[in-house]
Structure 1
Amino acid sequence: MPTQAVNLADKLKLFDELWAPKVVGSFNGHDLIVVKVKGRFVWHSHPDTDDLFLVLKGRLTIEMREGAVTLGPGELYVVPRGVEHCPTADEETELLLIEPEGTPNTGDPATAAPKPKI
């Protein structure tokens, strides 16, 4: 059992890559993930799980076919399972994601980024 807090800012300082998720912990079968993003991701969906985005720094717009939501620091949004979405950030943005272990970030294991633990 770890006896040390996870400092998200310190974890985010360990890498510069964009759209490269890193696992910083786990919770009831879910990965706790930090990621830096900028630009536009791909349109995708997750048929079996919701998708939680929490903005730590910057701004994120989550485009959906039905509309879009824009988040700033301290704001979160849950994309319901099966809803096609495309995250976009005009500036470098830092996120915390919570998702079931092994969830592919693109919705497709063949195109998903690896998620190493840091």
Structure 2
Amino acid sequence: MSKQPISLDEALAGFDQVWSPRIVAFVNDYDVRVAKFAGEHVWHVHEHTDEFFLVLDGEIRIALRDGEEREVVLPKGSAFVVPRGVYHKPSSVDGASVLLFEPTGTLSVGDEHDPVPEHVDTTTGHVVA
């Protein structure tokens, strides 16, 4: 990782793939990741960790199954935490750039998930050079 400030705009400009998070920094045992969202992800759950979303550009929706099925809408500048153990499915109609904060090694499709479509990268993140 760089010992210099990190431009999130430059990191996001360095790749085109959606649903393929890039690790821009490490904080203790956590990754700071950026990702591009477009279309739908997959229903999944992280059994042992919360997942933090901060919308840098665009708008995302997160469908949740937490006792009831519901959806939260996050416009640019909004943050939301999906609690551990809650099934969720992020999506973005018009595309979005998102910052995520989660423990190093966390799979992008969680511990359990529906079948993963080709456009979703099953990864623990790709380190930005």
TM-score category (smaller protein) = over 0.9
Sequence identity percentage: 40
How far apart, in 2, do the equivalents of 1:73 and 1:18 lie? Answer: 17
Moved >3 Å (runs of 4+):
none
> In the alignment, which residue of structure 1 is the partner of 2:77?
74
Aligned to 2:18: 18
Q: Which structure 2 residue ranges, 5 or more long, are not aligned?
A: 117-121
1:64 aligns with 2:42: no
Residue 47 of structure 2 is matched in structure 1 by 47
TM-fit CA distance, 1:36: 0.4
* Higher-strand-fraction structure: 2
Partner amino acid for 2:127?
K
Relative to the length of structure 1, the TM-score reads 0.93
- Residue 58 of structure 1 aligns to a residue whose secondary structure is strand
Query: 2: distance between equivalents of 1:30 and 1:72?
Result: 24
Residue 98 (structure 1) aligns with:
101
TM-score normalised according to structure 2 size:
0.85
Q: Please, which runs of 5 or more residues in structure 1 have no aligned partner?
A: none
Partner of 2:45: helix, strand, or coil?
A: coil
Which residue of the other structure, out of 110, 113, 125, is the alignment partner of 1:115? 125
